[in-house]
Amino acid sequence: MLNGDGLRVVLWVAGCSHCCRECQNPVTWDPNGGLPFTGVERAEIFAELDKGYISGITFSGGDPLHPANITEVTTLAREIKVKYPKKTIWLYTGAVWEDIQNEEIVRYLDVCVDGEFELEKKELLLKWRGSANQRVINVPATLREGKVVLHQD
């Protein structure tokens, strides 16, 4: 419930080149780590998303936009958006919006939490992010307006 709004399915991916100091998930940095993502795991995600009380899915890690992940995560996000148009898709990345705004995946996202975790900017009371430099971005509004629009609680 801390990985976005509501009760969510979370897919943690392996592979991150940001390697933020004091990262909460350094075990996910190695793109060859983790478990294989097969049809069984895919079916499990869709079975959970079928439940009416599930708000959506969150992609986290590691970094879902790492070169080892972006193609498959984009494909999965597209499928989810088509099958569950009322469910939300959140994505956490160490990249900043300005560097990823032209990636195909952003068309399927509702919220993107961008930016590396910065220990010096850590604040315990931040909602949905670990450090004050990170932004919780309302992606559809940002795409419409052509400038970053922050997600409102």
Helix axes 70-83, 39-49, angle to 10 degrees: 40
Return the ∠ at Cα 14 (arms to 10 and 48), rounded to 5°.
Answer: 20
Could you tell me the CATH superfamily of domain 8-145?
Aldolase class I (3.20.20.70)
Nearest to 130 by CA among 84, 89, 94: 94
- Report the pLDDT averaged over residues 75-92: 98
The amino acid that residue 76 corresponds to is L
Cite the DSSP H helix spans in the chain.
Answer: 39-49, 70-83, 97-100, 139-145
The 10 Å CB-count burial string (b at 16+, else e) for 88-125 is bbbbbbbbbbeebbeeebbebbbbbbbbbbeeeeeeee
Mean pLDDT of the 134-146 span: 97
Q: For the segment 17-36, what is each residue's pLDDT rounded down to a tens digit?
A: 887 888 778 788 888 888 98
Residue 2 pLDDT class (50, 70, 90 cuts):
low
Structure tokens at 65: 């936009």
Mean pLDDT of the chain: 93
Strands of the chain (E only): list them.
8-13, 56-61, 88-92, 111-114, 135-138
Q: pLDDT digit string (tens) for 59-82? A: 998 999 999 999 999 999 999 999
pLDDT band at 119 (very low <50, low <70, confident <90, very high): confident
Has residue 38 got a pLDDT over 60? yes
Q: pTM of the predicted model, to two decimals?
A: 0.94
Helix, strand or coil for residue 15?
Answer: coil
Burial class (CB in 10 A: 0-12, 13-18, 19+), 40: exposed
